[in-house]
C-alpha cells in the first residue's frame, strides 16, 4: 500500500489510524532518512493506541516503553546500536514475542533478528513534489 501526505498532520493521522487498528504482538518497522517524519508518524501511532504520555525519540536508550494505552507500546530506535548483542542485553525477545506493539526505527540495522511477520513502513521524500510531500509505503499489512 502506498500513501501520500502533504503535511505533518496528515502523516500523524495515518499513524493514528494504524495505532487504532493495531493488534497484540504486531511488530512495525519504520525506515527513512533523518527528518523524513518517523517521529511524527510514531506520535500518531501512540495517539491511536490511546497513549497520553509525550513520545520522544529514544535516541540514547534503544527502547522506550509506554504502558498507559490500549496495548503496551515499545518504541525502539536502534540508530546508534553497535551490534545486535545490545538487543540481546535488553532482552528484546520479551518485547518482540510479547503481546504489546513494537515499533522499530532503523530496523534495517538489526535485520538478522527480525521475525518474518512484520509490517514494514518506509517514508520517503520526493522534492519534486514539494518540501512537505511524503510517500509512505506499507508492506505486510492487509488493509487499513
Q: Which three cell numbers stand for residue 130?
A: 514539494
- Least distance to ligand ADP, CB of residue 85, Å: 25
Is residue 75 close enough to count as binding Mg ion by CB under 5 A? no
Q: Is 53 in the site for ligand ADP (CB under 6 A)?
A: no
Residues 27 and 102 sit within 8 Å (Cβ to Cβ): yes
**Element spanning 141, H or E:** none
Which residue in the shown chain puts its C-beta closest to ligand ADP? 37
Proportion of the chain in helix, strand, coil states, percent, rounded to 5: 30, 25, 45
- Between 6 and 99, CB nearer to ligand ADP: 6
Answer yes or no whether residue 29 interacts with ligand ADP by CB under 6 A. Answer: no
Question: By CB under 6 A, which span of 6-14, 20-28, 86-94, 111-119 interacts with ligand ADP?
Answer: 6-14
* Torsion angles phi and psi, residue 129, rounded to 5: -100, 5
CB burial string 74-106: b at 16+ within 10 A, e below = bbbbbeeeeeeeebeeeebeebbeeebbbbbbb
Taking the least distance from each CB to ligand ADP, the nearer of 67 and 132 is 132
Q: Which of 38, 51, 101, 121 binds ligand ADP (CB under 6 A)?
A: 38
**Helix 38-48, helix 8-21: angle, nearest 10:** 40
Task: Quote the least distance from Cβ 92 to ligand ADP, whole Å.
Answer: 21
Contacts with ligand ADP by CB under 6 A lie at: 5-8, 10-11, 32, 34-40, 132, 134
Contacts with Mg ion by CB under 5 A lie at: 38-39, 57
Amino acid at each position: 500500500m502506498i500513501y501520500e501526505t502533504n503535511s505533518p498532520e496528515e502523516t500523524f493521522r495515518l499513524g493514528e489510524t494504524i495505532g487504532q487498528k493495531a493488534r497484540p504482538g504486531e511488530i512495525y518497522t519504520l525506515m527513512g532518512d533523518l527528518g523524513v517524519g518517523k517521529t511524527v508518524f510514531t506520535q500518531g501511532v501512540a495517539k491511536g493506541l490511546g497513549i497520553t504520555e509525550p513520545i520522544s525519540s529514544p535516541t540514547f536508550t534503544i527502547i522506550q516503553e509506554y504502558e498507559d494505552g490500549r496495548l503496551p507500546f515499545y518504541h525502539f530506535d536502534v540508530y546508534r546500536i553497535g551490534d545486535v548483542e545490545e538487543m540481546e542485553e535488553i532482552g528484546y525477545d520479551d518485547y518482540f514475542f510479547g503481546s504489546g506493539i513494537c515499533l522499530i526505527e532503523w530496523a534495517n540495522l538489526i535485520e538478522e533478528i527480525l521475525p518474518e511477520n512484520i509490517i514494514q513502513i518506509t517514508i520517503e521524500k520526493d522534492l519534486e513534489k514539494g518540501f512537505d510531500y511524503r510517500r509512505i509505503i506499507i508492506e505486510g499489512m492487509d488493509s487499513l
